[in-house]
Amino acid sequence: MGPSTDRRRTSPTDLRNRSALAGEAAAAAAEVETALTVPADPHRAAFFDVDNTVVQGASIFHLARGLHRRHFFTTREILAAAWKQAYFRMVGVEDPEHVAEARASALAFISGHRVEELEELGSEIFEEAMAQRIWPGTRALAQLHLDQGQRVWLVTAAPVEIARIIAHRLGLTGALGTVSEHVDGVYTGRLVGQMLHGAAKGEAVRALAEREGLQLARCAAYSDSYNDLPMLNLVGDPCAVNPDSRLREHARANGWRIRDYRTGRKAARAGLLAAGLAGAATGGVAAGVAIRRRVG
């Protein structure tokens, strides 16, 4: 049977609305780890992407591997989700309907799990798989902002649960991540808006800045990816960290700071693997282990 001819397509307006909703949800779900500490400079903050910026590799890949070892989902389920995402990227398909189909497939196996279960396992997995993969140079940059009395937020497409764990372990202010709803502490399998990626990151930072009284022109942002330009372009001090080739070129053309903490071999290897491995893992699994909507 061929494809349906009356299939509804997602319009650009719908995509923009989903990005805005994802950003607003991420900002609303953000929790301040150091809530009792009054920042010395309340109008300035720094925003850090996570994958390949703070953590070596894709955090969602480390999380997914740890969850798989704990029988959170089957090999068949994770491979099916990752394959769909990898296929769409390889053939250059950007059809929103295809993306929605892959996301729905990935969400199928998280539905029914409890929020507390993912949070507890996420803490264990961070210690065993991610703690030793924090880039020391990026950690030092974040600490510099903290020492100057500024707040520091992680902004990532990874589930907000794992983002909060990383922020807490590093002593940062808080985290923005992909948000999905839960009912009575159980995941429904529905995202709030969409993944916190690209334009949605910019929306999240803008919403958080409004809520927290930040002056974005005095803020800084750090990322390795050209896809994060919506976030980087919002602030007065953008910085490319371990950048992909497109971001490095853009940063140089615009006089942005560039910091690269990789060896030459690591940098070359990252350029070859990032789109395939991290992309498939983030697209196929981030939705699958995403996340809850914070009520209240």
Residues marked as catalytic: 49, 51
Please, how many CA atoms are within 13 Å of residue 224, restricted to the half-sphere of its CB? 24
Q: How many CB atoms lie within 10 A of CB 229?
A: 19
Q: How many CB atoms lie within 10 A of CB 57?
A: 18
Find how far residue 186's CA is from the centre of its chain.
22
Which residue in 169, 172, 166 sits closest to 142, CA to CA? 172
Burial category of 114 from C-beta neighbours within 10 Å (exposed 0-12, middle 13-18, buried 19 and up):
middle
For residues 248 and 259, give the distance between their C-alpha atoms in angstroms, rounded to a whole number: 10
- Identify the bridge partners of residue 88 per DSSP, sorted by sequence position: none
For residues 72 and 59, give the distance between their C-alpha atoms in angstroms, rounded to a whole number: 17
Per the structure block, which two tokens stand in for 258? 């560039």
For residues 78 and 263, give the distance between their C-alpha atoms in angstroms, rounded to a whole number: 31
Q: How many CB atoms lie within 10 A of CB 4?
A: 7
**Separation in Å, CA 201 to CA 157, 215, 245, 276:** 8, 17, 20, 21
- Phi, psi torsion values for 86, nearest 5 degrees: -65, -40
